[in-house]
């Protein structure tokens, strides 16, 4: 594999560096160093700067208002933003631009693209994801939320849970059952539903760290237009799998940079606490370094697939297992370094951990424990590690499907 970048990609890299130098203040530590109110204000200003320079939806074709960047340019941009500690997007943009937007471009009707894509770009429509349901575990196809066609509208009843960005969203894409008599995977449809209506209620879920990163969403005779089905009625499962392919591989290009930055933070914590000579801690840090190198080359693998016009597919499951289990392991190591201080974490917090800790996140016990608690979910959301390993075994290695246990009688 040739891992050198062509001259045109390097020229684009210099353009992005110039943009960052112009729009970030000198000595920029990263958004994680800002108080919550300042971080929110920075986020609004930063999104306007990205939009003015065509850097909001860089992967979208220009005909839909995107940057039309090649896959290699997208990786270069992501690398430079990660190195500078600059966010590429707002939280709702991950769901609206990277996930739903790319799914609409791949599977949506022309009418859906014309209506929704510009509104996603401007930030007028802010999206969240409605897949998981109570008591369903990791079985994404175990859907009880029903949608019934009533004239030219779908009427929706049910509940979704573990919904990211639900408190700031005004639209939700939802996996619903539209044909309860069909086999489980064939009776589902993928609907686009407005949140700001009487039939939708969003409630925050307070996590173990005291933050509300997730919500639960209740539908009581909620309505959406009959045309707001992506991929066709009864094709919700394949549409959801397309979207999850974008989710599981969405930060493959920058995971090694972002986690590498946080590994330096972890090494500094070990030095400050005089544990950088402890053999066990050193072994853990070496393990972390080796996994970051694996992530780096997985990133090159993802770029190669994109350059060949291939979607991530089941290959993204490998990347998801690697980074999510790394996230848990290195936050466990932080707790070992903190020792008893992990039980009563002090110091400045970060207002709730992120998928990957932001640049500038304080090196405090409070922040590390926030991250540790958030990392518990990393091997569950977007498909648990067990589900990912089934995908790897069955779809990539050609192994037989896991046998289903027969229901016990009596």
Is the CB of residue 85 less than 8 Å from the CB of residue 31?
Answer: yes
SS3 of the chain: helix, strand, coil, percent, to 5: 50, 15, 40
Q: DSSP of 278-306, one letter per residue?
A: -HHHHHHHHHHHHHHHHHHHHHHHHHHHH
Is the CB of residue 275 less than 8 Å from the CB of residue 337?
Answer: yes
| C-alpha span between 331 and 362 (Å, rounded) | 14
DSSP lists the bridge partners of residue 218 as: 159, 201
Q: From the candidates 247, 258, 358, 371, which is the catalytic residue?
A: 247
* CB count in 10 Å sphere of residue 311: 15
Task: Identify the three-state secondary structure at position 79.
Answer: helix
Q: Does residue 216 carry a catalytic annotation?
A: no
* DSSP at 171: E
| C-alpha span between 144 and 348 (Å, rounded) | 42
| C-alpha span between 297 and 51 (Å, rounded) | 31
Q: What angle do CA 368, 370, 372 make, to 5 degrees?
A: 70
* CB count in 10 Å sphere of residue 22: 9
| C-alpha span between 49 and 132 (Å, rounded) | 34
Alpha helices in 149-254 (DSSP H): 236-248
| C-alpha span between 173 and 102 (Å, rounded) | 13
Is the CB of residue 240 less than 8 Å from the CB of residue 175?
Answer: yes
What is the β-pairing status of strands 127-130 and 146-150? unpaired
Catalytic site positions? 247
């Amino acid at each position: 594999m040739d891992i050198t970048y062509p001259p045109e990609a390097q020229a684009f890299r210099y353009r992005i560096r110039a943009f960052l130098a112009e729009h970030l203040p000198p000595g920029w530590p990263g958004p994680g160093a800002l108080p919550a109110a300042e971080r929110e204000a920075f986020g609004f200003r930063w999104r306007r700067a990205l939009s003015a320079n065509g850097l909001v939806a860089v992967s979208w074709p220009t005909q839909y208002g995107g940057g039309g960047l090649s896959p290699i340019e997208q990786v270069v941009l992501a690398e430079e933003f990660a190195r500078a500690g600059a966010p590429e997007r707002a939280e709702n943009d991950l769901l609206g631009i990277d996930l739903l937007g790319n799914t609409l471009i791949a599977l949506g009707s022309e009418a859906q693209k014309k209506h929704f894509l510009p509104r996603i770009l401007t930030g007028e429509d802010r999206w969240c994801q409605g897949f998981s349901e109570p008591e369903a575990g990791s079985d994404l196809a175990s859907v009880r939320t029903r949608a019934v066609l009533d004239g030219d509208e779908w009427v929706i009843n049910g509940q979704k849970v573990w919904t990211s960005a639900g408190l700031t969203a005004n639209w939700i894409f939802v996996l619903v059952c539209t044909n309860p008599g069909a086999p489980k995977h064939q009776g589902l449809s993928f609907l686009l539903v407005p949140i700001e209506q009487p039939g939708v209620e969003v409630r925050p879920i307070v996590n173990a760290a005291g933050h509300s990163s997730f919500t639960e969403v209740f539908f009581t005779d909620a309505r959406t237009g009959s045309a707001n089905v992506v991929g066709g009625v009864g094709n919700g499962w394949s549409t959801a799998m397309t979207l999850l392919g974008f989710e599981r591989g969405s930060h493959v290009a920058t995971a090694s940079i972002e986690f590498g930055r946080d590994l330096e933070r972890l090494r500094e914590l070990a030095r400050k606490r005089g544990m950088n000579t402890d053999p066990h801690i050193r072994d853990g840090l070496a393990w972390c370094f080796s996994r970051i190198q694996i992530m780096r080359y997985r990133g090159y693998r993802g770029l190669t697939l994109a350059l060949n016009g291939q979607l991530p597919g089941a290959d993204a499951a490998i990347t998801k297992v690697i980074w999510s289990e790394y996230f848990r392991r290195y936050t466990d190591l932080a707790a070992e370094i903190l020792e008893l201080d992990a039980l009563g974490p002090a110091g400045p917090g970060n207002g709730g951990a992120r998928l990957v800790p932001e640049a500038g996140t304080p090196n405090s016990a409070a922040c590390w424990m926030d991250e540790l608690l958030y990392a518990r979910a990393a091997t569950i959301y977007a498909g648990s590690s067990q589900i990912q390993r089934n995908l790897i075994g069955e779809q990539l290695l050609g192994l037989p499907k896991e046998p289903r246990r027969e229901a016990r009688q009596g």
